[in-house]
Amino acid sequence: MADQNYDYDVLVIGSGPGGYVAAIRAGQLGMKTACVESRETLGGTCLNVGCIPSKALLHGSELFEEAAGGTLAKFGVNTGKVSLDLDTMMGEKSTAVKELTGGIEMLFKKNKVTWLKGRGSFVDAHTVKVGDDTVTAKNIVIATGSSVTPLPGVEIDNDKGIVVDSTGALKLPKVPDHMVVIGGGVIGLELGSVWRRLGAKVTVVEFLDQLLPGMDGEVRKEAAKLFKKQGMELKLSTKVTGVEVKGKKATLSLEPAEGGDAETLDADCVLVAIGRKPNTDGLGLDAIGLETNQRGQIEIDEDFSTKIDGVWAVGDVVPGPMLAHKAEDEGIAVAENIAGMTGIVNHAIIPSVVYTMPEIAGVGLTKEAAEEAGYNVKTGKFLMVANSRAKTNRDTDGFVKIIADKDTDRVLGAWIISSLAGTMIAEIALAMEFGTTSEDIAYTCHAHPTHSEAIKEAAMAVQGKPIHM
């Protein structure tokens, strides 16, 4: 039942995974709900220029490489001369985006959520200006997401397609001869792998001494080996001090991270992928006395409420990993909390996936983090080369690694490199949610032959008794 003193019970600012899910859940719970979004389509960065279009290109480029690289021929599928139609591949990407963003619009209508088109900014704690209009709400949820972190002194121009961010890298008009990716994190590696498969030479420049910060140390080392094997050039412990564009070429200035002799590197496309920052500019947070922390994030309590009564926040704009599924879970939880229910997100069990080939996935603690936290750690590892289904499919790169507490056998985390790692990690996340032990997984029957048997075997390896290795 709507509160007559306000236009809406719940007003969500932003329609990304956190925002649109919060709005839909609030509508399901009977609250009069609106969602503010300035894009022409719903879904935020993820659906429009992030997770979804990148996966379409990753899949398309994998199919191209399978055909052009001889994988299909190895299995007796002879295609003749293989050529790339980039426009068609981009068209398939656009179709997927259109279907999914349109699907959210349909779900808004189904759940009686009003879409207020325009940018939202606070007038006070219960009033938001949207374009020329002003609306009031008893509860306001900030779900404005994040945007690309700029590299000082490097100007991005996605339309020219020479120095681009992740948005520009999704719509390049042609395959670059040489792409330099600044940043060895998830986004840079995913998009770099797309263009490498389609024929570009790809060089990854990373400031740290390993790729994929935050992931398990063994996974980081193995990932570097695999990307090198696939043809990527890696320049680790290297910083970019400048990028100069002349005509249709860019020249990067590089030097060792710890200082030393400078060098230059020429490219016809530079992808800046050094991270993302919360979107709080233009929200008018000062009008309600809400400041951000040193990282630009909005601090929240366990129920996702801010220090301002009636104002809540979820997703990339609050502390924690900047992941769409984390935002979605928070969106459900905040709506339930507003409705007087108990909405909870277990932030210790948020899986993360790198959608390269093979995929890289993890959940829970790394071995290093577990030891740092004081656990008596034992691990079990099983190589995909010993897995029957991986053998038949000829995709034997990678392993499953399970980290457990030696004293209680409780699973603390898991890390997987495999073609199906993103799907496989869900089993571990579910198991951890129920406080499972490695023995529980080891004695759970897994279908044969499947990639998931490697999880069972890794759990058996924690016990010191893998069968097939």
Instruction: Give mean pLDDT, residues 299-319.
Output: 98
Question: Does residue 3 sit within a domain?
Answer: no
Is residue 301 domain-shared with residue 316, that is, in the same domain?
yes
Q: According to the annotation, is 243 in a ligand binding site?
A: no
Q: How far are the Cα atoms of 34, 37, 39, 143, 371 from residue 25, in angstroms, in the given order?
A: 12, 17, 21, 14, 39
User: 228 CB contacts (<8 Å, ≥6 apart)?
Assistant: 234
In this predicted structure, what is the pLDDT of residue 207? 97
Nearest-angstrom CA–CA distance, 285 and 319:
17
pLDDT score at 4: 78
pLDDT digits (tens, 9 = 90+) for 213-259: 999 999 999 999 999 999 999 999 999 999 999 999 999 999 999 99
346 lies in a domain?
Answer: no
Q: Look at residues 223, 248, 274 and tell me which one is the last residue of a structural domain.
A: 274
**Is residue 234 located within the same domain as residue 316?**
no
pLDDT at 153: 87
The residue from 274, 299, 324 where one domain ends is 274
Inform me whether the pLDDT recorded for 135 exceeds 70. yes
Residues 211 and 359 reside in one and the same domain:
no
* Residues 330 and 374 both lie in one domain: no
Whether residues 12 and 82 share a domain: the answer is yes
DSSP tag of 437: B
183 is in an annotated binding site: yes
Domain boundary among 290, 312, 338: 338
Catalytic residue numbers, as ranges: 448
Does the annotation place 55 within a ligand binding site?
yes
193 is known to lie in a ligand binding site: no
* Residues 376 and 435 both lie in one domain: yes
In a domain, 158, yes or no: no
Q: Answer yes or no: do 39 and 127 share one domain.
A: yes
User: In this predicted model, what pLDDT tens digit does every residue of 435-459 receive, in sequence order?
Assistant: 999 999 999 999 999 999 999 999 9
125 and 17 share a domain?
yes
What is the pLDDT averaged over residues 156-160?
96
- pLDDT tens column, 44-60: 999 999 999 999 999 99
pLDDT of residue 368: 98
Q: Are residues 249 and 297 in the same domain?
A: no
Looking at the structure, tell me whether residues 263 and 133 fall in a common domain: no
Full residue range of the structural domain in which residue 192 is found: 163-274
- CATH number of residue 410's parent domain: 3.30.390.30
Task: Give the mean pLDDT of 83-100.
Answer: 98
Question: Does 28 reside within a domain?
Answer: yes
Tell me the pLDDT band of 360, cut-offs 50, 70 and 90: very high
Does the pLDDT value for residue 2 go beyond 70? no
Provide the domain count of the chain.
3
DSSP state of 396: -
What does the pLDDT read at residue 95? 98
Does the annotation place 325 within a ligand binding site? yes
Identify the three-state secondary structure at position 371. Answer: helix
The average pLDDT across 319-340 equals 98
Global confidence as pTM: 0.97
pLDDT band per the 50, 70, 90 thresholds, residue 3: confident
Confirm or deny that 435 is annotated as ligand binding.
no
* Confidence category of residue 113, pLDDT binned at 50, 70, 90: very high
| Residue 469 domain-assigned (yes or no) | no
Residue 468 lies inside a defined structural domain of this protein:
no
pLDDT 10s digits, 19-38: 999 999 999 999 999 999 99
- Shared-domain flag, residues 320 and 437: no
189 is in an annotated binding site: yes
Give the confidence band of 277 by pLDDT, cuts at 50, 70, 90: very high
Same domain for 270 and 281?
Answer: no
Q: Is residue 1 predicted with pLDDT exceeding 60? A: no
* CATH code where residue 100 lies: 3.50.50.60
245 sits in which H/E element: strand 238-246
% of the chain surpassing 90 pLDDT:
99
CA-CA distance, 388 to 303, in Å (whole number)?
Answer: 45
Percentage of the chain lying above the pLDDT 70 cut:
100
Average pLDDT, the chain: 97
How many Cβ atoms from other residues are within 10 Å of residue 10's Cβ?
28
